[in-house]
Amino acid sequence: MATILRWSPRFVRMYGRRFLPNLKVLTTLEGMHPTEPHYYLEFVGVHPDHQRKGLGMALLEPMVERADREGVGMYLENSKEKNLAFYGRHGFQVRAQTHLPGRNGPPAWLMWRDPK
């Protein structure tokens, strides 16, 4: 929560009147984070024109290697069902599924990867 509050002025500028609904989503997700030490994979994205060419793996691999080397788990929230297989191939497993707050809030799969 401290991180969210520290970033609040930027969020207000970015989201304007959508700030409070977005704050609710952020605080909901933060409350679901694991308590054990972990790396949090906040964003990974590849433009659709360049997907399925190994770029996602290239982005993810250095962090996975580091987490394995340090013996630390990894955590992420995924909002697209089609990405479950991609993360699964890299050792992530769904810990829980939820829906984000708000009208027609999208689904979210909370995923964890144990170090190898």
Are 42 and 26 found together in one domain? no
Share of residues in the chain with pLDDT > 70 (%): 70
pLDDT at site 62: 96
**pLDDT tens-place string over residues 52-63:** 999 999 999 999
Are 105 and 54 found together in one domain? yes
Are 90 and 106 found together in one domain? yes
Which DSSP letter does residue 45 get? Answer: -
- Domain range for 7: 1-31
pTM of the model: 0.72
**pLDDT tens-place string over residues 35-76:** 899 999 888 889 999 999 999 999 999 999 999 999 999 999
Are 56 and 6 found together in one domain? no
- How many domains is the chain built from? 2
Residues 6+ away with beta carbon under 8 Å from 84: 78, 94, 109, 111
Task: Give the CATH number of the domain where residue 62 resides.
Answer: 3.40.630.30
